Structures are given as structure tokens and as C-alpha cells.
Amino acid sequence: MCGENGCSNPTISPVSSYNLLFLTQTSLFVKNNLLSFFFFLAAGTPLWAQQDLLLSHLPDQWQFNQVNPAAFPTEKRFVLALPGLGLDGGHSGTATLSDFYKRENDRNLLDFTGLIDRLESFNYLSYRQSIETAGLGFRLGGKGKTALTLGHAIRFQADAFYLRELPELLWTGNAAFIGQTIEIAPRVAAFDWHELQLGISSTLGPVRLGVKVKRLMGVSALQTDPKAQSATVYTDPDIYQLSLNTDFGVYSAGIISAIDTAGLGFRVLANEFQNQPQRTNGGWSTDWGVQLKVNERLQFFASALDMRASIRWKEADYYYSRGNYDYEGAVLPGTDLINGVEGLDFNGKLDTLNDVFGFRRFSLDDLKSTVSGRYFLGGHYQFSERWRLAASFFHESRLYQSISAGGVSAHFRPLKWIEVGALFSFNDATGNKLGAQLSLQPGFARFFLATDDVAGIIAPFHTSRVQLRTGMALVF
């Protein structure tokens, strides 16, 4: 985040991500223009997208129920789920968080010199975070060994898309685009919510079926309007006339209270972030799962998660900017604007420019945010008492780019209560990755730590993806 003494590396959490998205009232960005706001709205920090591949390879952990509601610990009657955390995300291509910054005079300054060369023409970012606060599970007696589960989670989902020209304009200014019309508007959808879960599962012969019903209660949301997502810049090659045109809309629930673009710089007045869910911002979703036990060594599973999941926001705002502006001889000094160089002077032309980018505010009583559906298919094979093999495939229907991934893993128990594992995975967005897992099961306690990408944990600012999953439970 940025403050009076400069910038520090951002942490991975919804709150810090929002602070970067809006950069409100910070001295370093007082001189930023509205285009800078749009950029950080979409790409102020790399965002991520949850897959939980390695978790789907850990059937002995209670959190496996989060990727397959049919699962329940074998021969156990009662489970008390303790807090767990899952986060995962990536940026398309090879861009990393370190590409956004450089160190100068004991300050972290934004520096896109290395970033621009590593960006693709079309860039995607995504982030998923899940905090499972508590849960219960208990198996009923009788035939079928039916089990009931209860749980609560706090989740965050963000997806963004932007063109390479956006950071390039911000860093080099418009001189590099003379004679070209470039599109710079990002597309963003980000929201967080609380989730109450009620599940049931039962065994029918070799098959175990499960379903989970979830009540969603929204906290806050921000998303661009798919029908108004254009902002273009054109510089005439003969007379250097700068033309700016916008047809851009942003929906907000519980985040923005005003957007002021006076004086070319921007200032987003953010509401205090709501930390409590609102019952009026509600929705429903379901998880479905199945397990097939072929024999004592081999079993398969499949699941469909967050089916038809959406949240309706009953109190929201819509901010709309539409206009055009022509000015002869204008040059946007991108580098100076980004890092807040003092003394920038646009010779009194700023009020007119503000008229172009001025947002109008409209109140809404219905806004919809859609949770991405996720699908798993896989199997586990107990090769011996100490060795186990697993494989799974994953697909998520995201807003701007669907993603598919798969992986195979091997797991070894040096002791009865310790298991370690290694995963090789492939991802059509971020490439091949190596993962690792540690599980501890002393007595009735269970704990695990897993990542689909070891490199992202060791050096999170030098990789295009970070993923982590951990959880605890007491199983009786």
C-alpha cells in the first residue's frame, strides 16, 4: 500500500486488494489521472483464481468436503471443523508482482518498464479466497451411513481483463501512440460474501452421493458495465490533437460513495468496507458430489460446485462516464503522473478535461453478481500401506476466461500419522507447476498444508501465480 512515506508491497487479502484498487487519499497518487485509476482498478496487484487441485487429492482431510460434498471421513461419527484458509490466483503470461515495482531512495515506486515487455495483448487476472470459519459434521446410524454437515465461510472472487495499451499509456504517455486509437478501459468483477452451508450425504452400494445447499449473503461488490466499457485515446499525427472518449460504467455495492475527477487527478471516496453480510443482498447455490468405491484400493469422484450461484444486491450505485474532449498539443506524461512528480501544470485545461471524465451517479435496487461454477473429476489409488497415488481434472467457468487444469500426485506415509506428497499439475493459463503437501494426524486432530505451486510460496513476488490451502479439524 501507499502512504506518506511511500509504498510497501501489498498483502494478499480482500481489504488490501481494495485499498490498491482505489488508492484513496494517498499522497503518492495525488497527481494521478483518471486513467491511472482505471489501471489500478484492474491491475494494481496480481489477482488469483482458486482451483484446490491438491486438496482434491486429500480424501482423509475434512476440507475435502469443500470440493466434494459426498465425502465424509471413513468410519468416523463426528467432526469439528476448525478455521481454514484457501487462496489462489494468477496473471496470464509471465508477468509477476515484482514487475510492477522498483526500489529507489528507500521507496517502492511503480515501474512498468519490465512489465510491459512481459504482457500479452490481452491480459487476464483472477483471485479467489475462502476462509472457512467453523463447521460440524456428524454421521447418523442405520443403513447408508447418512451424514449431515454444517459450515460457514467467507469468500472473495475477483476477475479482471485489460489490454496491454493501458499500462503502456500510463508509463510512456501517449507519444508512443500518435496516429492510433487505443482502447484502455478495463473489465472488472469483484465481490465478497458470507456463506452458510448445509449438506447431506449417503451411501448406496458402492456409490456415495452428496449435496450441499448454500445461502449467500453479500458484503460488497464492484463490477464494470458490460454494455458500457469503452475509453479510447487518439493523438492526431499532424496537429498532435489529443482526443479522449468515454462510454464507461461501474456498478458498486458497499464500496464507492463518489468519484471526483476534478483537476485531472482522481479521488475515489470509498465507503467504509462492510465487514458484515447484508441479508437483503442474498442468493443461493448448490454443490453436488459423488464417490465410487471400486474396491478397497481404488475410488473415483466427481463434483459440481457453486451451481447457479449468484447474489442480488438491493442497494447499489451505478457510475457512468460518457463524453469526448479534443485538445491541440496535449501530451500525457505517463511516468510523472503515475509516481506523483510535483509541479505538473496543464495550464488551466483541467476543468474541461474533468467534464469529459466526470461520473454521474444513479441509485439501483437490483444488481447481480455471479459466482463462477467449478467442476472436479478424479480418483485415488492406495498402492500400498505407505504409498498412495491420485489424479484429478478441474474446470472453472470464469467471467472473462474459463480455465482448465489437471494434476497427478504421489503421497508417502513415513509414519502412520504423517503424510507428505508431491503434485505435478498443468494449467492452460499459467503453465506447469510443482506442488507439495504435508498432513499431520496425531490422534483425533488433523492438520494439512498444501500448495499447487511451491515456487509461488517461496518467492510470491517473482511468480505469476500463488496458491495455498490449509485447514484443521477434530475427527472422532
User: What is the C-alpha separation between 50 and 466, in angstroms, rounded?
Assistant: 10
Judged by phi (left if over 0) then psi (alpha if -120 to 50, else beta), residue 79 lies in beta
pLDDT of residue 290: 98
Q: Give yes or no for a contact between 367 and 249, defined as CB atoms under 8 angstroms apart.
A: no
3-state secondary structure 292-336: EECCCCEEEEEEEEEECCEEEECCEEEEEEEEEEEEECCCCCHHH
The owner of cell 472457512 is 132
pLDDT of residue 61: 96
Q: Give yes or no for a contact between 148 and 171, defined as CB atoms under 8 angstroms apart.
A: no
pLDDT of residue 212: 98
Cell (9 digits) for 388: 498412495
pLDDT of residue 38: 35
pLDDT means per 10 residues, the chain with 476 residues, are 34 28 25 32 39 90 97 94 91 77 72 80 88 95 87 93 86 83 92 96 96 96 94 86 88 78 51 64 97 97 97 92 76 55 46 62 91 96 97 87 90 97 84 92 96 88 85 97
pLDDT of residue 23: 26
Q: What's the Rg (C-alpha) of the chain? A: 25
The owner of cell 487518439 is 234
CATH topology assigned to domain 2-475: Porin (2.40.160)
Closest CA to 427 of 379, 395, 385, 458: 395
Structural domain boundaries in the chain = 2-475
Instruction: Please state the length of the chain.
Output: 476
Distances (CA, A) of 43 to 224, 426, 462: 14, 24, 16
Please give the model's pTM, rounded to 2 decimal places: 0.83
User: What is the C-alpha separation between 376 and 68, in angstroms, rounded?
Assistant: 8
Q: Give yes or no for a contact between 79 and 110, defined as CB atoms under 8 angstroms apart.
A: no
